Structure 1
C-alpha cells in the first residue's frame, strides 16, 4: 500500500475516532477535526518521516477511541450534589487502579460499559 493511501486511511480512522469521542459535543468535534485537517496539510513535526507521521495519527485515533471519555454535568434541582453523565462506549478501555503505576501492563477485565439509566439515580 502506498504511503498516500496509508495516510488517507489514518486520516479516516482519526475522523471516526473524533466522531466517537466527541459524539454530543459539536464544538469540540469540529475543532478536533479542523486540527487534524491542518496537521495533514502541514505536519506539526516535519522532522518525522511520512511513515512516522502516519503512525502518530493512528496512535492518536486509538487514544481518542479508547482513553478519552467526556462527561456532562447532570442538572437536577432535587439532587444536592453534582453528578456527571460519562460518555462511555464500547471502545472505552476500562481497567483498574492496579495498572496505573505500570502503563505497560495489559489488563484483562470483565467490566462492561452500560448506558446511564434514570433508575440509577437516587431519589
Structure 2
C-alpha cells in the first residue's frame, strides 16, 4: 500500500473517530476536524518521518474512539449534586478497579461498554 493511501486511510479513520467522540457537540467536532486537517497539511512534528506521522494519526484515532467520553450536565431533581449523562458507546474502553489500583497489571480481555440509559442508577 502506498504512503499516500496509508495517510488518506489514517485521515479517514481520524475523521470517523471525531464523529464518534464528538457526536452531539457540533462546535467541538468542527474544531477537531479543522485541527486534524491543519495537521495533515502542515504536520505538527516535522522530526517524525512520514510513516511515524501516519502511525501517530492512527493512534490518535484509536484514543478518540476508546478513551474519550463526553458528558453533559443534566438537571438533577431533588438532589443538590449535579448529574451527568455520559456518551458511552460500543467502542469505549472500560477499565476495572484492578487496573486502576495497579498500573502494571495487563488487561487480558477487552472490555466493552454495556448499553447505557439515563435511568440507570447505582
Aligned counterparts of 1:107 and 1:93: Cα–Cα separation in 2: 13
1:91-115, Cα deviation, whole Å (9 max, x unpaired): 0001112113426722426664222
Structure 1 residue ranges (4+ consecutive) displaced by more than 6 angstroms after TM superposition: none
Matched residues, number: 121
Greater Cα shift, 107-116 or 62-71: 107-116
Aligned residues of 1:95 and 1:109 also touching (Cα < 8 A): no
Aligned counterparts of 1:114 and 1:39: Cα–Cα separation in 2: 34
Is residue 113 of structure 1 aligned with residue 120 of structure 2? no
Aligned residues of 1:95 and 1:107 also touching (Cα < 8 A): no
**SS class of match (2:64):** helix
- Quote the RMSD (CA, aligned, Å): 2.0
TM-score (norm 1): 0.88
Aligned residues of 2:98 and 2:105 also touching (Cα < 8 A): no
Unaligned runs of 5+ in 1: none
**SS class of match (1:72):** strand
Aligned counterparts of 1:104 and 1:36: Cα–Cα separation in 2: 33
Aligned counterparts of 1:28 and 1:96: Cα–Cα separation in 2: 29
**SS class of match (1:73):** strand
CA gap of 1:30–1:54, structure 2 versus 1, over 3 A, is same
Aligned counterparts of 1:103 and 1:59: Cα–Cα separation in 2: 21
Alignment of structure 1 residues 19-30 onto 2, 5 Å: 19-30=19-30
Aligned counterparts of 1:37 and 1:31: Cα–Cα separation in 2: 10
